[in-house]
Structure 1
Amino acid sequence: MQLVRTLQSAWQMRALLTVMVQRELAARHSGTAGGLAWVYAQPLLTVAAYYLVFDVVFAMRLGDAAPTKAVGTFLIVGMLPWQAFCEALGRGTSSLIDAGHLLQKNALPPVLMVLRTVLASAAVYLPLLVLLALAYTPLHHGAPALLSLPLLLATQFALAFVLAYALAIMAAALRDTVQVVTFALSVGVFLSPILFPVTLFPEDWRWLLWLNPMTAWVLAYQNVLLQGLWPSWQSCVGMAAWLAGAGAVLSPLLRRSRDELVDWL
Structure 2
Amino acid sequence: MNSALGDELRSAWSARSLVWVLTRREVAARHAGTAAGIVWPYLQPLLMVAAYYLVFDVVFGMRLGEGAPARAVGAYLVVGALPWMAFCDAVQRGMTSLIDAGGLLHKNPLPPVLFVTRAVLASAFIYGPLLMLVASVYVPAHGLRPAVLALAPLLALQLLLCLVLAYVLAILAAALRDVVQLVGFVLSVGIYLSPILFPLSLFPENWRWVLWLNPMTALVLGYQQVLLQGAWPPLSVWAVSAAWIAALALALNVLVARSRDQLVDWL
Matched, 1:104 2:125: no
Counterparts of residues 105-120 of structure 1 (less than 5 Å)? 105-120=107-122
Residue 146 of structure 1, CA deviation: 1.0
CA distance in 1, matches of 2:68, 2:155: 23
Does the CA-based 8 Å contact 1:191-1:212 persist in structure 2? yes
SS in 1 for 2:193: coil
Deviation by residue 1:129-164 (Cα, 9 ceiling, x = unmatched): 111111002333221011111100011010001000
1:231 aligns with 2:236: no
Looking at structure 1, the residues matched to 38 and 150 of structure 2 have their Cα atoms a distance apart, in angstroms, of 30
Tell me the distance in 2 between the aligned counterparts of 1:153 and 1:117.
17
- Asked if 2 retains the 8 angstrom alpha-carbon contact of 1:133 and 1:225, the reply is yes
Decide whether the 8 Å contact of 2:139 with 2:230 is kept in 1.
Answer: no
Q: Deviations for 1:62-83, whole angstroms, at most 9, x for unmatched residues?
A: 0111001000000000000000
CA RMSD of aligned residues (A): 0.8
| Residue 186 (structure 1) shift | 0.3
Normalized against structure 1, the TM-score is what?
Answer: 0.98
When normalised by structure 2's length, the TM-score is 0.97
How far apart in 2 are the matches of 1:32 and 1:131?
Answer: 23
Q: 1:66 aligns with which of 68, 77, 88?
A: 68
The letter of the residue matching 2:41 is V
Question: In the alignment, is the contact (CA less than 8 A) between 1:140 and 1:224 conserved in 2?
Answer: no
Q: Could you tell me which residue of structure 2 aligns to residue 43 of structure 1?
A: 45
- Offset at residue 218 of structure 1 (A): 0.3
How many Å apart are 1:193 and its aligned residue? 0.2
Alpha-carbon offset, residue 29 of structure 1: 2.5
Separation in structure 2 between the aligned mates of residue 96 and residue 124 of structure 1, nearest angstrom: 21
1:53 matched to 2:55: yes
Tell me, in whole angstroms, the C-alpha distance in 1 between the residues paired with 2:73 and 2:51: 12
The whole-number CA distance in structure 1 between the counterparts of 2:98 and 2:22 is: 14
How far does the alpha carbon of each residue in 1:47-76 deviate from its partner, in whole angstroms, 9 at most, with x for none? 111111111111110011100100000000
Gaps of 5+ in 2: none
Could you tell me which amino acid in structure 2 is paired with residue 58 of structure 1?
Answer: F
Higher mean C-alpha displacement, 172-181 vs 139-148: 139-148
Q: Which amino acid aligns with 2:182?
A: V
Query: Equivalents in 1 of 2:143, 2:77: separation in Å?
Result: 19
Aligned to 1:242: 244
Rounded Cα–Cα distance in structure 2 between residues aligned with 1:141 and 1:180: 43
Identical pairs, percent: 63
Q: How far apart, CA to CA, are the structure 2 residues paired with 1:192 and 1:114?
A: 26
What CA distance in whole angstroms lies between the structure 2 residues aligned with 1:221 and 1:166?
25
User: 1:99 Cα shift?
Assistant: 0.5
Contact 2:8–2:113 (8 Å) recurs in 1? yes
Give the letter for the 1:182 counterpart: G
Q: How does 1:1-265 map to 2 (within 5 A)?
A: 1=2, 2-265=4-267
